[in-house]
Structure 1
């Protein structure tokens, strides 16, 4: 019995597994190219030189910032030309991302060849982009002259200076800014058709912002609003790191709005009307999301901006930096602000509303003093009780 088991073990070792050996000496990918129409399809092409017939060939590709690797079976002709067409209408890819791709070939003899990795930038090639660079910024546009491009660079630098003055955050590694001629074209490129009120967007993990800057007298004002706003998101992402998603939405958008060079003048009226109509949102309801409709979103932005500006006035840049640190450490919306600033979110909201709207000033002061009043009553209660007991004995 033992001899039979030993024989079986030796046979298994000698045969081994049937995992193919990987080789590269007799196989080469001598040429690769990518052809695509933004939002429609991507065609991957390769020319393979091999002394051994190819049994099957696969393409693997992964967009920047994504964890899932996509794949497709390559068609290979007798000349060693291989291609695969990916349908973007069925499986879209994030705009302006860098795509890494490679090939894997299985030969007739069972050996496998894996090519080096290649890459290309998935830009919106429906437009002829012009570019201009001043590190760490690179701007791209398709309508306007070189002065327009330089203006974008100038505003980006002003926005960076504003952030460093507000929070002393480090300069970004690299930022690409793409300017569309109108919001409709911008929204179409990012598949934001259901959010027609969105004028700009940022993918902070890509270091890419997309803005819409229509020609006209307000173009510079929109530039001074959108670019510094979106830049704040990118720097916050680099500062917070893996817990960027823990950052309350009201703080993320509030800081971005505070950094705008040209503040939205409609926010003041919007806030006053909401306060009179008692339609202000509780700040706690803006921790994880903003309303999706235009009017609700604008009010949320207005509140976040005003509340964040109030916190900066009360606690300074160091207080805001402490607040960011708590969220970077993974604390939730309510706990993070209490640890960093020593007050609850509800207390700070009462203080902000009292300061900004002048509402319930006495009640707000009483609410903030409530913990101390409780302690005072408790401290006075003991001697008062003893005094009463003493009087009863008389």
Structure 2
């Protein structure tokens, strides 16, 4: 009886092994069929290679009975909504049947930068001249920093890549990230099932080349301890930093804020984004609280809800973070987590936060800020009145042209009104301006000219006459010649002087 039972168990094991083999063969057959398109196009090999800091190399080798027309690769970077499409260039061709091709996708610019640890999902598309087409199944590739050999730890959702004997640090980052997902995911209404990958560097010289291209000055002056690439679901963390777990916690909250509140239409303002990231930080420091307390004591708080971005000075940036965390804490404690989830969803739908906050909370952003200020016992922030914000008009002095008629009026005893006292510019009179009078050529016997007419001639020629005399004598006058004014009134003594000088110049020319 015992022998029969043993034989029975053996047969069941053999049957189970045969079934497993059949299943494996069916899977391989399905994969083989998936890599063969209509008309017999076949993918012989394919691959992706990281050329870190420069780009990614896609290559493929295909075969077909007809001439290969095009080979292209479709790929999606991380969790971005929009993918990319590139054509491969043929490298070799053997008898028109086998073609090897490749394309190098550059990532060494800010616009095309890809963070280390990003998942690249890709597939190939092949067509031949007969119209046959092959679409391969999607594959995944991890774009690693190829300067190091990486090890990984994961809980299935969060994966930490590290190198060197620092597994204990990697485990701390993993635990901090998982805890933050559990705390902040429900608060924000963010999905926590999509993968998150963390690349941990041991020191700043290791991490600096992995960051997006920036100016050399910025890299020298700043040390980045953490950086979130939210659309890709990727974090870069400086594992040797004193509060590395807090850095990972802060940065992963940015990813959750992006998932809950941002999309093709919606953008979460910086003060709310950073405030939530610090609110979710499981290992916060006290520098932000100290900066906020100093700002309150000096009455130097920032207009936080009215700011479109972060301030420019380092001191104000620290105050900004402290205020942002404090006002987010007030929003959650005063109105609850449900309102925060609703706010994120409303912003993601495409509404500006200035419209989303009144819709969700029933108050304006400024009123929300003033409620927060009330909780701290500090004065309200008020917008300036519309009238006081307008520029003040300044009086403008009226200007008028000086004519010979004005000179005549002054000579006859007419009283001139100073320009500064005039409120309205005088209308142009109907009296035509005097026509230009040609400089009279001197004769041996000068002709007498009435005084008034002589004044008109002098007014038009006095400056030219004096200049001519200076050129003939070769002497400089030491200054410019003109009609001096004082309070807008022309002095007749100056006119008489000009008349005399002009007369002397005319006699001199006549004598020559």
TM-score with structure 1 setting the length: 0.73
The partner residue of 1:159 within 170, 180, 184 is 180
**Distance in 1 separating the partners of 2:314 and 2:206:** 18
- Mapped contact 2:160–2:173 kept (Cα < 8 A): yes
Shift of 1:260: 0.7
* Per-residue CA distance 1:325-375 (angstroms, 9 max, x = gap): 43244332122222222222112222323433x323xx68xx8xxxxxxxx
Secondary structure at 2:232 match in 1: coil
- Mapped contact 1:163–1:232 kept (Cα < 8 A): yes
**Distance in 1 separating the partners of 2:355 and 2:172:** 42
The partner residue of 1:346 within 366, 369, 374 is 366
TM-aligned CA distance change 1:44 to 1:242, over 3 Å: closer
**Distance in 2 separating the partners of 1:252 and 1:201:** 14
TM-aligned CA distance change 1:270 to 1:241, over 3 Å: closer
Q: Does 2:49 correspond to 1:35? A: yes
- Mapped contact 1:253–1:304 kept (Cα < 8 A): yes
**Distance in 2 separating the partners of 1:28 and 1:272:** 68
* Range with greater deviation from structure 2 (36-45 or 193-202): 193-202
Q: Does 2:196 correspond to 1:178? A: no
TM-aligned CA distance change 1:59 to 1:170, over 3 Å: closer
Tell me the equivalent position of 1:75. 90
The partner residue of 1:359 within 370, 378, 384 is 378
Q: Does 2:105 correspond to 1:84? A: no
Tell me the equivalent position of 1:228. 249
TM-aligned CA distance change 1:323 to 1:179, over 3 Å: same
- Mapped contact 2:266–2:352 kept (Cα < 8 A): no
- Mapped contact 1:323–1:337 kept (Cα < 8 A): yes
Equivalent positions of 1:142-153 (< 5 A) are 142-153=163-174
Equivalent positions of 1:1-394 (< 5 A) are 24-54=38-68, 56-64=69-77, 65=80, 67=82, 69-79=84-94, 80-86=98-104, 87-89=106-108, 92-95=112-115, 96-107=118-129, 110-119=130-139, 120-163=141-184, 166=187, 171-191=192-212, 193=214, 194=218, 196-214=222-240, 218=242, 221-223=243-245, 225-240=246-261, 242=263, 245-276=266-297, 279-286=300-307, 288-291=308-311, 294-356=314-376, 358-360=377-379
- Mapped contact 1:237–1:244 kept (Cα < 8 A): no
Secondary structure at 1:262 match in 2: coil
- Mapped contact 1:284–1:345 kept (Cα < 8 A): yes
- Mapped contact 2:70–2:128 kept (Cα < 8 A): yes
Shift of 1:131: 0.5
- Mapped contact 1:39–1:92 kept (Cα < 8 A): no
TM-aligned CA distance change 1:316 to 1:191, over 3 Å: same
- Mapped contact 1:172–1:238 kept (Cα < 8 A): no
Shift of 1:266: 0.8
**Structure 1: which 5+ runs fail to align?**
1-22, 368-394
Shift of 1:134: 1.1
TM-aligned CA distance change 1:184 to 1:61, over 3 Å: farther
- Mapped contact 1:58–1:72 kept (Cα < 8 A): yes
TM-aligned CA distance change 1:301 to 1:33, over 3 Å: same
* Per-residue CA distance 1:147-179 (angstroms, 9 max, x = gap): 222222222222223325755755333222221
Secondary structure at 2:72 match in 1: strand
TM-aligned CA distance change 1:34 to 1:292, over 3 Å: farther
Tell me the equivalent position of 1:380. none
Shift of 1:321: 2.9
Secondary structure at 1:25 match in 2: helix
Secondary structure at 1:246 match in 2: coil
* Range with greater deviation from structure 2 (294-303 or 25-34): 294-303
Secondary structure at 1:198 match in 2: coil
**Distance in 2 separating the partners of 1:57 and 1:355:** 66
Secondary structure at 2:293 match in 1: helix
**Distance in 2 separating the partners of 1:38 and 1:139:** 19
Greater relative CO (CA pairs within 8 A, separation 6+): 1
Larger radius of gyration: 2
